[in-house]
Chains A and B, each alone.
Chain A
Amino acid sequence: DAMVIQNPRYQVTQFGKPVTLSCSQTLNHNVMYWYQQKSSQAPKLLFHYYDKDFNNEADTPDNFQSRRPNTSFCFLDIRSPGLGDAAMYLCATSRAPGVGETQYFGPGTRLLVL
């Protein structure tokens, strides 16, 4: 089945130690998104790629970066994780950007910062 895969499902890192979360998709979708969801909060869009074009949300901290080396893979890099970055990180894809395009989500990676 075509799907969105996130590895690992749980990631533990230390305060200030860089960490990378990965997402892959077999849907061949053009758009890939990264969301942050803190406990009991709404998922919040950090950034997205439309093909190779990177689109950063205005309030996404500089500590968060992303890479998309090819259509299938997208990475979320947190350069210096703080305690406040502990959250569920959701990757999603869509065929195209825009209203009416369904986003398909992966299961998420839960990040713990010690």
Chain B
Amino acid sequence: DQQVKQNSPSLSVQEGRISILNCDYTNSMFDYFLWYKKYPAEGPTFLISISSIKDKNEDGRFTVFLNKSAKHLSLHIVPSQPGDSAVYFCAASEGSQGNLIFGKGTKLSVKP
């Protein structure tokens, strides 16, 4: 059973607007959450992360929100740019090993 779920396979947004990508998890022991971005023919690259002791982390146009009670996190991109078009993976990890459990990804298309 999937422990990290990204229920929207795709999302289309107009340039300049906000993109909101969602992720749900089932394991309450997860204590670190990450977003990775993947362009075609490239490996995933780290985008932003958040520890379970926080509820928000911001880096430029990217903000991740964590709602532990709902076991939900989201990635906000404001303003969205065509170069943000990629597949976004949510990942979670637990404990000292820190092995990542990934979601299936959401393909974001930002239209000019």
Q: Which residues of A contact B (CB under 8 A)?
A: 4, 6, 9, 40-45, 48, 55, 57, 90, 92, 94, 97-108
Contacts and interface: CB of A to CB of B under 8 A. Distances in A.
Interface in B73-112: 89, 93-105
Contacts of A99: 31-32, 51, 93-96, 98
Contacts of B101: 42, 45
B98 A108 contact: no
Interface in B39-98: 41-46, 49, 51, 89, 93-98
Given A42-B105, A45-B100, A45-B101, 17 more contacts: A6-B43, A40-B104, A42-B4, A42-B101, A42-B103, A43-B89, A55-B97, A90-B43, A92-B43, A97-B96, A97-B98, A98-B97, A99-B51, A99-B93, A100-B98, A105-B45, A106-B43
Given A90-B44, A106-B43, A43 B32 contact: no
B44 A43 contact: yes
Interface residues of B, number: 29
Q: Is the interface of B mostly helix, strand, loop or mixed?
A: loop
B2 interface: yes
Interface of B: 2, 4, 9, 31-32, 34, 36, 41-46, 49, 51, 89, 93-105
A48 B94 CA distance: 16
B11 to A, nearest CB: 15
10 contacts: A40-B104, A42-B103, A90-B43, A99-B94, A100-B49, A100-B51, A105-B36, A107-B41, A107-B42, A107-B43
A48 B99 contact: yes
A113 B41 CA distance: 20
A92 to B, nearest CB: 8
Contacts of B41: 9, 107
B105 A104 contact: no
